[in-house]
Structure 1
């Protein structure tokens, strides 16, 4: 095992495990093959000390969830060098494991690894469509329900009798489904959806009690105090008072809306980011998101010049500790800003993506942003900032610059994301014909995603011909490889 220690240290220490980064920093990886190839074989080796089972346990299954996720990320960075048969063998162990046996990020990493395989590479002796069809089958409990029930709808195995006799929507009994009852149920669901969609940047949808008069008064007092802080000690005490008030009220969102901590100066906001901890059970895990959307997000929405290093370092530290919260409360709302991204905003988001995000976080962000439904990209923000956010992307030079930096992180995009980006490129090429940022993005996109976009080469070639920069020839050369 000693020969593998450098590689496992890299997996533990790196925020985004990458074979190229490991190879450049260490030449002592075991065996002569590339490190990812050797690691894949090592992870698939049987574990003789465990009880015999069918299939026999492998070393990968003995690793903790974090190391599993890091190992899959490491393998994904060199997917083109790996034996597709071995990749599918490892991925199937993860994806077909019993519910609860595999970590969420390990399962996503396995799917991400499969996406990087060349087309037509399947398991020996097994048709590739069989493997994919098995992956997309409904879960066992849903298949069982389908066999035992007479479904209301062919694609929804909910028993008609259960729909008629349970619930509080007034659906009547009898052999035939009460059309009025079902119609009422559908209408109520549609109304709920419309209420949720009325404002594409909603509040955190947590049921919370209204603020009492005493809480409002204390919050107003903190609002005045927070803009008059003159020392670190006072700022720390204000952060503690604000934290206590958020927890006691049971409605941290409303308290933060009244206090408006984003009105403080940079030094005070830095102390708030370091000392305001909202991790009470009543926060339902939304505490870090609340801190980010009430302190960091408002500052970034109005950012017109480079952010102060003091505040930026504190914000990056919090984003690094809570990347999922940063995704929801910083990346999504800022990218959906009605005015689009500017230079300093793009710089901050690039730092967050590079320094704080795992590649799987970034892939999920791109998928939800470009391929997901509208409800999947609703950001988290406070009421005061709803008017700054829209429902759709505003494509500026700096949004293309952000995607350029994302692609340079060797993020593997799914086919649906690649298809959406090709549509955007074709639609916007004339508008950004003289933009070097757009040209850089297009050149990087063609270079990094050629395997996924070559089937739409004609569309990309047409878009490239509408550009007019010194990069145009390089882009067309990539799209027209010598035969």
Structure 2
């Protein structure tokens, strides 16, 4: 019981117990090999004799009596609900049959169940049960027959069959001595076949190719066919005037045809057309109709973003128009990788730093278009400090508006606060980088409420991860003088 006191304390006091308990569990496994998930389930299901009063009895003098319940049922209802919610959240760490048995016993016990306890128990049961639910009703929860082969920690059948063969390096590893030697070519792993790795490498190579073309000035020096140049000049004149939606749709088709079907480089042609000069209404129609969804993500879709939307947003000083933001969100939902490399990276790396208007737009794109895991990876690249991880796509004529380094403004800290509030789990490296920026920026933003709110959010949401930086954060916060300074110091003191 003593080894689980800290975990139970998290369920009782933490504002976000699921993620904090999951982190504690990982750290405990690393620190102690004797702590297991099975022992935690055993603790929850440990039988206890408890004294209860039958509230359904009509006699007011009905004497109390004892009932045999599980240990989890002796806890307050709120704590029970939090524990069951955590088990559903982190169910991969536990045996599915154990979780099913626990949820089933909670729902069918001999005690009255609180509404929220019942709700989280049902959610847990739904999360670990099979889709047809038929086996749950017929399952003998007191026995383990017919499910031995599907135990949580047992080897899969195919691995057992491979392990039964001879000439194996290890009895549980289905690899022969010859195969092992053939793969150990001075520690390289080039022979490993993994379709996902190949796809990532292909996309990374494509990104490097596009970025290198821009950085080396190949696009500016491209020789353009005079006929294409003349047609581009004509289109440049037409996009400055919005006649009708149907005419603008035709204009989008003409731009697409000229860029993709004439053999010229699309970025070069777009640089001649200058579609970013169109008003917001024309731009929203263009970006909604210039793609058909069949293009390579880091090709034409990224060119569209960096030539129509990016230049407008880079010089944004007032809140963006609703029509432009709506078109941007809808486009980025479909072309997520293009949105990262042709819009988010160059916007956040703006040479003057982002302002409130740019912060609002990027926050909406991140929240509405990207998965939290993708945002976490994006932030890791952004904060790493390595230029190779911050590659982006833009036209040469706009490169002077973008830097290779992050410029930390109040709005930048506010953007990362919005990201943390979006339940994005940043990596430890990213947290370390943010803490370092807080320490370096404290004196500069000592009166900034946005800076203070970010630090408070960082300490509140990432408490366990910033615990090792407690002293440096305390020193930094002591240099500030905002409405939240005392709250931050109080949070740090409680870590």
Calculate the TM-score normalised by the size of structure 2. Answer: 0.59
Q: Of the two structures, which has the highest relative contact order with CA contacts closer than 8 Å and spacing of 6 or more?
A: 1
Residue aligning to 1:67: none
| Structure 1 counterpart of 2:249, from 219, 236, 240 | 236
Change (3 A) 1:368 1:405: same
Residue aligning to 2:396: 383
| Structure 2 counterpart of 1:410, from 423, 426, 429 | 423
Flag as ranges the 4+ runs of structure 1 deviating above 4 A.
Answer: 39-46, 140-146, 155-158, 194-199, 203-206, 278-281
Deviation at 1:37, TM superposition (A): 2.3
- Structure 2 unmatched ranges of 5 or more: 1-17, 20-80, 98-126, 132-151, 160-176, 191-207
Residue aligning to 1:259: 273
Q: Within the alignment, does 1:465 sit opposite 2:478 as a pair? A: yes
Change (3 A) 1:44 1:452: same
Deviation at 1:142, TM superposition (A): 12
Please provide the CA RMSD for this pair: 4.0
Aligned residues between the structures: 330
| Structure 1 counterpart of 2:382, from 369, 390, 393 | 369
State the alpha-carbon separation in 2 of the partners of residues 44 and 287 from structure 1. 47
Change (3 A) 1:425 1:198: farther
State the alpha-carbon separation in 2 of the partners of residues 32 and 354 from structure 1. 26
Deviation string 1:136-181 (CA, Å, 9 cap, x unpaired) is xxxx999866744xx6xxx7689xxxxxxxxxxxxxxxxxxxxxxx
* Secondary structure of residue in 2 paired with 1:391: coil
Change (3 A) 1:145 1:389: farther
Residue aligning to 1:268: 282
Deviation at 1:364, TM superposition (A): 1.0
The answer (yes or no) to whether the contact 2:297–2:337 under 8 Å persists in 1 is: no
State the alpha-carbon separation in 2 of the partners of residues 255 and 141 from structure 1. 55
Specify the structure having the higher radius of gyration (Cα): 2
Change (3 A) 1:142 1:327: farther
* Secondary structure of residue in 2 paired with 1:249: coil
Deviation string 1:40-96 (CA, Å, 9 cap, x unpaired) is 5489759xxxxxxxxxxxx99x99xxxxxxxxxxxxxxxxxxxxxxxxx89x99xxx
State the alpha-carbon separation in 1 of the partners of residues 379 and 278 from structure 2. 32
- Structure 1 unmatched ranges of 5 or more: 1-18, 21-30, 47-58, 64-88, 98-139, 159-193
The answer (yes or no) to whether the contact 1:336–1:394 under 8 Å persists in 2 is: yes
Change (3 A) 1:318 1:144: farther
State the alpha-carbon separation in 1 of the partners of residues 477 and 326 from structure 2. 39
| Structure 1 counterpart of 2:262, from 221, 238, 249 | 249
State the alpha-carbon separation in 2 of the partners of residues 210 and 36 from structure 1. 61
Q: Within the alignment, does 1:324 sit opposite 2:374 as a pair? A: no
Deviation string 1:210-263 (CA, Å, 9 cap, x unpaired) is 532222221111111111232112111100100111111342111111111101
The answer (yes or no) to whether the contact 1:333–1:389 under 8 Å persists in 2 is: yes
Residue aligning to 2:229: 216
State the alpha-carbon separation in 1 of the partners of residues 343 and 479 from structure 2. 34
State the alpha-carbon separation in 1 of the partners of residues 91 and 482 from structure 2. 46
The answer (yes or no) to whether the contact 1:435–1:469 under 8 Å persists in 2 is: yes
Residue aligning to 1:114: none
Change (3 A) 1:303 1:35: same
| Structure 2 counterpart of 1:455, from 446, 468, 473 | 468
Change (3 A) 1:463 1:197: farther
